[in-house]
Amino acid sequence: MKILGAIELWRTRFDYRQDTAFNAGTYLGLLEQLARRYRRQGALMIQDNASYHKDAEVWSWFKSNRHSLEVHQSPPYSPELNPTERLWQHTRKTGTHNRFFGGVDALFATLTRVFGEMQSHPQLISSYLAPLC
């Protein structure tokens, strides 16, 4: 299971999409999800340098949808500037660190719980994101 995530820093909102692979197609699915949310107000998106972020189809989508999402690349090799990395730290700390999962379903249930808590109680993750705001 692969999880793509996006964070709205100002409201500490976390959106995610799960799929079986990281590729341009699954990333475009997340972008469509975000574009629906921010269609009226627009949003600035900062992404890392994953290969599917640089795909020609993805850049074409950004050009067609720049009224909803404006994209910028983070510098290479700079995970400290990526807020999603901070949420993975929180996820490991509160959900997966030092735990045995009897199967994929147990892991999935834990991740769903942690992500749901982040969505419902943004104050849990605000300290992770404060340095970036």
Average pLDDT estimate for 36-63: 88
Q: Give the per-residue pLDDT at 101.
A: 93
Largest Cα–Cα separation, the chain? 45
Q: Report the interhelical angle of 24-38 vs 56-64 (nearest 10°).
A: 10
**With 0-12 CB in 10 A as exposed, 13-18 as middle and 19+ as buried, what is 104?**
exposed
13 pLDDT exceeds 70?
A: yes
Domain ranges of the chain: 2-132
Mean pLDDT, to the nearest integer, of 112-133? 84
Report pLDDT for 2. 67
* Residue 52 identity: Y
| Cβ-contact 5, 85 below 8 angstroms | no
Where are the strands (E) in the chain, listed by range?
2-8, 13-19, 43-47, 69-73
Summarize pLDDT for 96-106 with one digit per residue, the tens: 999 999 998 89
Higher pLDDT, 13 or 59: 59
The CATH class for the domain spanning 2-132 reads alpha beta
The reported pLDDT for the residue numbered 60 is 94
Reading the block at residue 112, the tokens are 């769903």
